[in-house]
Structure 1
């Protein structure tokens, strides 16, 4: 079958789950990743066709997409802040909102004096997208990253290697720490923050396939990670150090109040591109 004909069939079969634009974007993502062909190549050559082996691969991918497996997991990679990252079932798929958090940190800390070193800690690193993006764009920074999942750390280490940056990864449960070994100029975290009561809002492709360990918290203590990380930041932030969080959009006010009660200063709550409360910055000393 000609690729152009299969494209029509592919989009039609995904129509009950995805709009035409999203289904078409899936088609071209797979086409480029599996065949090194772009949309323009297909437009210029209508006679391109799939072999029987190609059909087997494509039909398997189509079946999984119809089961709402995230396309990033099917391809084994995604882009974040201009870099390529391996992703799998052990790590969350990086979101555009998290790119905004990274942009905020980089903008605030772009080196004027390149001889001044920064020490940065990313808590709950997952794929390593935050830590690696910061290491890539803040060459004066020594970057450290913590996660409770060994499988996630293995993925993050491969991503650091592939993106040619040095990050020190540590296997730790942040909830078990009372004080950290080093002091930091910046502590950043995108911790679990979705309450169980919000599960009905979560799409099947997230709920069924992304790691719940990195997503959900109990309804009766939704800010458990923020409170713990802020407590550690009180002890381990250097003078004029900064704390950055990605947060639950419904708990912006509560997160600000938590930081105020813990005597943090210069607290700033920011919205993301979707106009949701999504990021907080604060300082302690």
Structure 2
């Protein structure tokens, strides 16, 4: 039987080529595989290490050393307090997306039944969190990738909520419902020229289909989704976007050109302009 302290130090030493993140990743890995807490390591608690878990630990270390994201190695991640399955078919949810979801929840939680559409849903983290937090709402979500929708459906079952998933190309297909109260989207928004600045764990493993847009038309998803929202949203309905801070004002201008009112771009907790919102006019 081993103890937690030496086991942690062994994993940490193996992960040391990863630099500053090695310590945290070692803790997370031990917690996920062996249910070992930081306090267990401090107290050097006795640990059972069956052969199958020892093998999983070693395989996980090897994958991490290839810069594969920990969330893919573990197969899950936390978002807004819920556990979501993630695979390389979907993006790993980011904290700024949680902030966008929180804004929607706080604004609409007192409204009762809402029809909500999430475009480019990926893992379903936005749609399904809204289903949990706004239980009176009816949720639809679309994505072009059948592999992503399969992950989203697994997450729907995992969270035990109702949501309708539809395979659709946001650039070509109309919304699958008329008169939604809320449309939200975290579409691809990373310019291809920005790829050289990205970390290898993102560039080599996360789905490029969900990440990149051409430099010469970085707003193509916003243009298509906002244009459809301008037609389909219920009068007085809200449109929400996660955005690239590099063209925050361009997204806002696009929404104003489509006659959305009260358009504003908003900072995340890092002070970066990462959200945009607006209301479809209530007038006919």
Check if 1:150 corresponds to 2:146.
yes
**Aligned-residue offset at 1:241:** 0.2
Superimposed CA distance per residue, residues 66-89 of structure 1 (whole angstroms, 9 cap, x where no aligned partner): 111000001100010011100001
Superimposed CA distance per residue, residues 49-79 of structure 1 (whole angstroms, 9 cap, x where no aligned partner): 6455544322221111111100000110001
Alignment correspondent of 1:6: 7
Corresponding residue to 1:226 among 222, 228, 236: 222
Give 3-state SS (helix, strand or coil) of 1:282's partner: strand
**Aligned-residue offset at 1:122:** 0.0
Give 3-state SS (helix, strand or coil) of 2:264's partner: strand
Give 3-state SS (helix, strand or coil) of 1:25's partner: helix
Alignment correspondent of 1:124: 120
TM-score for the superposition, normalised by structure 2: 0.93
CA contact (8 A) 2:33 2:57 kept: no
Corresponding residue to 1:217 among 213, 218, 222: 213
**Aligned-residue offset at 1:32:** 2.0
Give 3-state SS (helix, strand or coil) of 2:171's partner: helix
Segments of structure 1 that go 5 or more residues without pairing to the other structure are none
Superimposed CA distance per residue, residues 109-156 of structure 1 (whole angstroms, 9 cap, x where no aligned partner): 012x54xx2100000000000000001001121010000000111110
**Aligned-residue offset at 1:181:** 3.6
CA distance in 2, matches of 1:182, 1:37: 49
Corresponding residue to 2:260 among 256, 260, 264: 264
TM-score for the superposition, normalised by structure 1: 0.93
Superimposed CA distance per residue, residues 8-38 of structure 1 (whole angstroms, 9 cap, x where no aligned partner): 232233233230xx32222222222212222
**Aligned-residue offset at 1:46:** 4.3
Check if 1:15 corresponds to 2:11.
no
What does 1:49-68 correspond to in 2, within 5 Å?
A: 50=49, 53-68=52-67
State how many pairs are aligned.
280
Give 3-state SS (helix, strand or coil) of 1:122's partner: strand
Give 3-state SS (helix, strand or coil) of 1:239's partner: coil
What does 1:102-251 correspond to in 2, within 5 Å?
A: 102-111=101-110, 114=112, 117-178=113-174, 180-251=176-247
Please, which moves more after superposition, 260-269 or 235-244?
A: 260-269
Alignment correspondent of 2:27: 28
Give 3-state SS (helix, strand or coil) of 2:67's partner: coil
CA distance in 2, matches of 1:52, 1:172: 44
Superimposed CA distance per residue, residues 89-108 of structure 1 (whole angstroms, 9 cap, x where no aligned partner): 10000000000000000011
Give 3-state SS (helix, strand or coil) of 2:89's partner: coil
Alignment correspondent of 2:96: 97
Give 3-state SS (helix, strand or coil) of 2:236's partner: strand
Give 3-state SS (helix, strand or coil) of 1:175's partner: coil
